[in-house]
Chain A
C-alpha cells in the first residue's frame, strides 16, 4: 500500500497535477472540437475534400507522440511554454476522431429527410443547425468521447517536455525506479479516462434515445 501512502502524503500535489491534466485535455479537446466539427461538416458536404482532409488527420495520428512533441519544440511562440506545446499536440491528435465522426454522422442523416428539408425551403444553415447537426449529434459526441479518452492517456507524455499533468509522477517514478510513484500518476489518469468515458457515454445514450 505504498501507493496509497505516497498519494496521501502528497495529496495536494496529486490534486494539482490532476487539475493540470484536466486543463491540458479540456482545452485541447475544446480546440479540436472548434476545428474538427466545422471541418467535418464541410467535408461531408463537399466529398471531393473528404479524402485529403481525412488522410491528413490520419497521418498526424501516426506520428509518435514523443516525436511530435520534439518536432514542435523549436517553434517560436509555442516553444516558449511547454503547456502550449502540449495543448497543440493533443489538439492535433484529437482531430481525427472528431472530424471522422462528424463526417460520418452528417453523411448518415437519411437523405429523404435532408431532401424534404430542402424541398420545404430550409436555408442551408437552417438545414444544418435544425436537421443535420441534431441528427448527427450522438455520432459526433462519440467521436469527442474517443478523443477525450485518448487525450487523457496521451497527456501523461506531455510531462516529458515539462508540461505537467499526471505524467510528472510517471516520469519521476521511472527515474526513481519506484513503482508506487508511477502508479500515483497512472491510476488517477486511468480513473479520469474511465470517468470521462462513462459520463459521456451516458449523455450519448440519452441523445440516442430521443
Chain B
C-alpha cells in the first residue's frame, strides 16, 4: 500500500482549556486534493497548522511522508511545504519577485535560477512578468492571491496547504481562480489540503471532502458521495445551499 502524504493519528489540540480538535484520524493520499469543510471554529484551520507545526498537538501525532512531526526538523519541513493563507500574508516591503523568491533565496539558490523560477511561476499563475517589480499594495486582490499561490509553489513542494485562499475574493475572481487552480492541479498533481467553508468550492476542487464540526471529523466523502449522503450534517450543507438558490428563485418571480 502506498504511504499517505499526511497522516493524523488520534490528534487532539487544546488551547486555554478549549478543545479545538479531538480524536482526529485522517489520511491524505498522495496527489489528491483533500478539502477540509466546516464552519468557523470547527478546527479545520488548526488541523492545517498542525501539519507544519505552527501549533503542536496536545496528544496524538502527525506524520508527513511517514515521518512523525515530533522528530523532524521543523524549519526544513516548512520549507518543503507550500502554504497559502486567506489574508495572503505577502510581505508588504518586498516586491512580487522577492516574495515569490523568498524560500529559494533562503535555500541559497543561485540568483539567475531564482529569477528564472519567478518568471516561470508568474507565467504559471497567469501573471505577466511586468508585475515582478511591483509591491503587493499595487496589486488587485486576485493578483495578490495568485502571487500567494506562486510563492507557495516556488521551491516546488509536493505538498500544498491552502487556508481559504480564495475566501476574500469577489465571486467572479474566485470562480476564475478556482478554475485555474483546478487546471493547475491537473498538471502538477500536488498533494493539496484545502480549507474552506464554501460547499461549492469543496465540491468543485476536492477529490475528497472531510467534513468537520466542533473539533471532530464527521465523515470523509467524495463529492459524488457527498451529494447523495444521508449524513445529517452533509444534508444540512446541501439544504442550506438549496435554500439560497430557492429564495433567489422565488424573489425573481
Binding site for B on A (CB under 8 A): 110, 112-113, 115-123, 126, 130-131, 134-135, 210
Contacts and interface: CB of A to CB of B under 8 A. Distances in A.
B78 A121 contact: yes
B93 A112 contact: no
B70 interface: no
Nearest to B48: A119
Contact of A112 (B75, B88, B106): B88
Main secondary structure of the interface of A (DSSP, over half): helix
A115 B103 CA distance: 14
B87 A120 contact: no
Contact of B89 (A116, A126, A130, A135): A116
Given A112-B88, A120-B83, 14 more contacts: A112-B85, A113-B90, A113-B91, A113-B92, A115-B54, A115-B85, A116-B83, A116-B89, A119-B54, A119-B89, A120-B79, A120-B102, A121-B79, A135-B93
B92 A135 contact: yes
Interface string B78-111: 1111010111111111000000001100100000
Contact of B90 (A116, A122, A123): A116
Contact of B75 (A116, A121, A134, A135): A121
Contacts of A134: 93
A182 to B, nearest CB: 47
Contacts of B76: 121
Shortest beta-carbon contacts, A-B, top 10: A116-B89, A121-B78, A121-B79, A112-B87, A119-B83, A112-B89, A121-B75, A113-B89, A134-B93, A120-B103
Given A112-B88, A113-B91, A116-B83, A121 B54 contact: no
B52 interface: yes
Contacts of B79: 120-121
B77 interface: yes
Interface in B44-75: 52, 54, 75
Contacts of A115: 54, 85, 89
Nearest to A123: B75
Contacts of B54: 115, 118-119
